[in-house]
């Protein structure tokens, strides 16, 4: 549940398909609102945090963090998304770049309290995820955290079960997170399940 202020992270430009899937508790966006809310609450525990958002889209989540005093950095592939997000966050530091090719140059020169990625990194292969997360890990401040909200599972068996239940709706082009497999490279990774097909992965030094 959201906090008692009851703000709505998703009122401005919330995609109808995402909303229907979340509201009806169906793959792939069941739990979407709570994934974003979980990350928001975690970040807001640190006043005036510096936050890097990977694949921020129109800035749905980070615009709320920006409004509450966070310093926002971001990378997105789409120039249109950058333009839309910049209107919401005129003081944010937003850069264009394909994160499959790594972190944009200016962002490699900063460290962050939080690095967040919501429903974006599933476009990377498992090998690319590991390599990119290592780059991001090195950009954390002391006590910093990487927070990933996405279609994600604790085990491969849970992913396979969701694939079977989703049937033809399953997106074979997306490569979802499996927490216990990612722990081979990041033993301290924590996974918080939010729905049958979504959760938040946390990495910290």
Q: How many angstroms separate the Cα of 72 from the Cα of each of 15, 133, 176, 182?
A: 23, 19, 26, 27
The pLDDT, as a whole number, for residue 4 is 31
Question: In 3D, which of 38, 77, 81, 40 has the Cα closest to residue 59?
Answer: 81
The pLDDT, as a whole number, for residue 17 is 60
- Percent of all residues in the chain with a pLDDT value above 90, rounded to a whole number: 80
CB 152 within 8 A of CB 191: yes
Rounded mean pLDDT for each run of 10 residues along the chain, 205 residues in total: 36 56 88 94 97 91 96 92 91 94 95 97 95 97 97 98 97 96 97 98 94
Q: How many angstroms separate the Cα of 167 from the Cα of each of 151, 153, 154, 160, 172?
A: 16, 17, 20, 11, 11
- The b/e string for 148-170 (b: 16+ C-beta within 10 A; e otherwise) is bbbbbbbeeebbeebbeeeeeee
The pLDDT, as a whole number, for residue 12 is 45
The pLDDT, as a whole number, for residue 135 is 96
- Around Cβ 187, how many Cβ atoms within 10 Å? 7
Question: In 3D, which of 109, 177, 100 has the Cα closest to residue 132?
Answer: 100
Say if pTM beats, i.e. exceeds, 0.95.
no
The pLDDT, as a whole number, for residue 27 is 96
The pLDDT, as a whole number, for residue 16 is 61
Taking the C-alpha atoms of residue 142 and residue 113, their distance in angstroms, rounded to an integer, is 8
Q: Which two tokens stand for residue 180?
A: 């216990």
Q: Give the pLDDT confidence of 52-104 residue by residue, as tens digits.
A: 999 998 888 999 999 999 999 999 988 888 888 999 999 999 999 999 899 99
- The b/e string for 55-69 (b: 16+ C-beta within 10 A; e otherwise) is bbbbbbbbbbbbeee
- Where do the domains of the chain lie? 26-90+108-203
Taking the C-alpha atoms of residue 113 and residue 126, their distance in angstroms, rounded to an integer, is 25
CB 122 within 8 A of CB 151: yes
CATH of domain 26-90+108-203: 3.40.50.150
Instruction: Output 62-67 pairs: Cβ under 8 A, ≥24 positions apart.
Output: 62/89, 62/92, 62/116, 63/12, 63/88, 63/89, 64/7, 64/9, 64/40, 65/40, 66/91, 66/92
């Amino acid at each position: 549940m959201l906090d008692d202020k009851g703000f709505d992270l998703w009122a401005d430009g919330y995609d109808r398909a995402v909303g229907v899937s979340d509201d009806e508790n169906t793959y792939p966006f069941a739990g979407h609102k709570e994934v974003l809310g979980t990350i928001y609450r975690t970040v807001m525990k640190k006043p005036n945090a510096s936050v890097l958002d990977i694949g921020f889209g129109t800035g749905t989540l980070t615009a709320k963090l920006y409004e509450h005093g966070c310093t926002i950095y971001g990378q997105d592939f789409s120039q249109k998304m950058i333009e839309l997000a910049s209107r919401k966050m005129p003081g944010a530091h937003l850069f264009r770049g394909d994160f499959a090719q790594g972190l944009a140059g200016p962002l490699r020169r900063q460290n962050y309290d939080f690095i967040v990625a919501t429903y974006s990194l599933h476009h990377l292969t498992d090998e690319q995820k590991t390599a990119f997360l290592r780059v991001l890990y090195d950009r954390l401040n002391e006590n910093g955290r990487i927070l990933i909200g996405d279609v994600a599972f604790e085990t491969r068996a849970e992913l396979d079960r969701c694939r079977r239940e989703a049937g033809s709706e399953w997106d074979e082009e997306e490569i979802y997170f499996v927490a216990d497999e990612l722990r081979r490279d990041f033993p301290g990774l924590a996974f918080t399940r939010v729905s049958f097909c979504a959760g938040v992965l946390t990495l910290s030094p």
